[in-house]
Structure 1
Amino acid sequence: MQYRTLGKTGFKVSEVSLGTWQLGGKWGDPFSEKDALDTLEAAYDAGVNFFDTADIYQDGASEKAIGKFLKGKEDKVHVSTKIGRKLDPHVAEGYTKENIDKFVDECLTNMGVDSLDNVLLHCPPTAVYYNPEVWFELDNLKKAGKIQNYGVSVEKVEEAIKALSYNISTVEIIFNMFRLRPADLFFKLAKEQNVGILARVPLASGLLSGKYTADTKFGKNDHRSYNRDGSAFDKGETFSGVDYMTGVKAADELKERLGSDNLAQTALRWILMFDAVSTVIPGASNPQQIDRNVSAADAPALTHDQMLIVNDVYNKYIKNPVEYLW
């Protein structure tokens, strides 16, 4: 495992880290604390020292499992959590000082810690980026020692760029072979301000595993079944906003033209070709998936021609309309 500096946090974090949306159970399946703890330990044993979670993942069970895992490792690992999606309805007006303070306190309780390494607003409505009081309250929490760093998880590149107006340390953004636009301008601006980048949804909800076909079925409680049209949350979260069958065709062509029999590993390694990225955060629901993820850190770099192939497939299948929506 190799390590990179997470922007102005100064944290040295594993190039491949762990996103915990699926921790302890696949999407829609019951949560298993044992599987969660086994997965966290497997990641740690493989060199992973950065974990991304959120207060709503498994209704707080993800944070609580991470809290148990942290005991005795507090100085060896870093955790980033997200707040805001508990709001119902999830509207900009809900991002008040009182709610932000409450959410942070609940995260501290869930993980059993005195201070949070990194707190991200969890894909807030666009209007929140234009309300400086929200960000000033995060400054206050930082001064009070409840959080060490803060940032935001975004849906759109424009939101990421606007967030750079504030004293953020990190931005979490969808970036993968099917979502190239962040690298055009945002990466340059983030590097100039020493803001760390967490690359999320790196496999486009599994499309970039190269294992899906027209006949692949997903459970009814899996967002890949019920959110393809964005009826539950932003459409870009599911398959990176790519039409499913288009994504299958594009992934198949990537496998063939890149000569890859392990497209997931190649897709993660592709992300690490961008030095603006601090870490990539694929998910895992059990220990067996950890090896698949972390192997990307030691995979050979893509060649110039391979990088051009990715761009070509993107332009052919994905750019219109994805690039113009996010």
Structure 2
Amino acid sequence: MRKRHLGKTTLQVSELALGTWGLSSDGYGPVSQVEVDRVIDRAIAVGIDLFDTADVYGRGDMERRLGKRLQGAGTTFVVTKIGTDLDGLPPTKRFDPAYLRTAFERSQERLARDVVDVVLLHNPTVAAMRDKEPLAFLKELKQAGKIRAFGVSAGSADVARSALRDEADVIEIAYNAFHPGDLHEVAGDVSESGAAVLARSVLAHGLLAGQWSADREFYADDHRVNRWTREEFRTRLRQLDALRPLVTGAVVSLRSAALRFVLSNNLVSSAVLGPRSVAQLDQLVREAGMPPYLRGTALMELAERLKQAGIEGGAA
């Protein structure tokens, strides 16, 4: 497993990270607890040392499981996210320092770590980012030696840019072949700041794996049931044709092409994978391949095909 610098921090982490939202049963439907543990253990075995979670995944259960199964500090690294109050009526975003302190202490206890490697604000709005107190609180935790790095899991380029202006060490942002625009928009800010980029949604919630038919149905407990209208879904499937010329030689599938697209970007410190089984994890690790992931000419030709298909920094 190859390593990359985690931005301007002193950490080096695996260029593939294990994301745990899908394992929590919150996003795509239930996963057996036995399989959850097997996936975590397998990730460690293949050399993944960066694990991405949040205090709300499984209402804290994913943090607790990582705390039990991961090796010690310095051997494995954890990114967690705070700022969502599930106990509120209704559940709401909260980034006031008093709430964040309580949330952090609970996460720290569940993760069983004296020092948490990375703590991010979980999807704040642009309006929330105007308040400087939340990131200032995380900076205080870093200065106190309770965390190693801080930042924001951003839902837009504007939020990411705001976090970078406020000296965030890490931003997590959606980045894939169908959704390149947000990272491309803040690329200059990232380079100037030296911040790390964690790329999430690298397969666009499974779309870029290229294994769905036009009549694919999703279960009610799968968030994708409401992500696309039927017509949008069929359009996205047609747009996959823009990626197909990449599937040649060592690039053995659309899934491989999509993952290599992300890894080809040197701004990305780690690509956050979302497997829900050991078989899926092994497939992703195998098909990620080795540098050069995609040739420069192939990337330029892909950009032109995506533009012709109506994807020019568009959303997945």
**In 2, Cα distance between the equivalents of 1:129 and 1:192?**
20
Aligned partner (choices 284, 300, 305) of residue 308 of structure 1: 300
Gaps of 5+ in 2: none
Q: Tell me the equivalent position of 2:254.
A: 263
CA contact (8 A) 2:17 2:270 kept: yes
Given the superposition, is the C-alpha separation of residues 64 and 318 from structure 1 closer, same or farther in structure 2, using an over 3 Å criterion?
Answer: farther
Given the superposition, is the C-alpha separation of residues 318 and 201 from structure 1 closer, same or farther in structure 2, using an over 3 Å criterion?
Answer: farther
**In 2, Cα distance between the equivalents of 1:319 and 1:91?**
33
User: So what's the TM-score if we normalise by structure 2?
Assistant: 0.90
| Alpha-carbon offset, residue 131 of structure 1 | 0.5
| Alpha-carbon offset, residue 217 of structure 1 | 1.6
Q: Tell me the equivalent position of 2:134.
A: 134
CA contact (8 A) 1:151 1:171 kept: yes
Are positions 1:12 and 2:12 aligned together? yes
SS in 2 for 1:205: coil
CA contact (8 A) 2:53 2:62 kept: yes
Amino acid at match of 2:243: L
SS in 1 for 2:224: helix
**In 1, Cα distance between the equivalents of 2:168 and 2:183?**
19
CA contact (8 A) 1:246 1:317 kept: no
Which range is displaced more, 41-50 or 81-90? Answer: 81-90
Amino acid at match of 1:270: F
Amino acid at match of 1:248: L
| Alpha-carbon offset, residue 257 of structure 1 | 5.8
Deviations 1:137-185 (A, max 9, x none): 1122222333221110111112111111213110000111001213434
Equivalences for 1:220-235 in 2 at 5 Å?
220-228=220-228
Q: Tell me the equivalent position of 1:81.
A: 80
Are positions 1:252 and 2:251 aligned together? no
Given the superposition, is the C-alpha separation of residues 49 and 257 from structure 1 closer, same or farther in structure 2, using an over 3 Å criterion?
Answer: closer
User: So what's the TM-score if we normalise by structure 1?
Assistant: 0.88
| Alpha-carbon offset, residue 306 of structure 1 | 2.0
**In 1, Cα distance between the equivalents of 2:143 and 2:246?**
51
**In 1, Cα distance between the equivalents of 2:309 and 2:95?**
38
| Alpha-carbon offset, residue 126 of structure 1 | 1.5
Amino acid at match of 1:43: A
| Alpha-carbon offset, residue 115 of structure 1 | 1.9
| Alpha-carbon offset, residue 31 of structure 1 | 4.5
Give the CA RMSD over aligned residues: 2.3
Tell me how many residue pairs correspond in the alignment.
Answer: 310
CA contact (8 A) 1:124 1:154 kept: yes
Deviations 1:83-131 (A, max 9, x none): 1123545666x31111110110111121122221100111112212110
Amino acid at match of 2:262: I
**In 2, Cα distance between the equivalents of 1:251 and 1:162?**
33
Amino acid at match of 1:293: L
Gaps of 5+ in 1: 230-241
**Structure number having the greater strand percentage:** 2
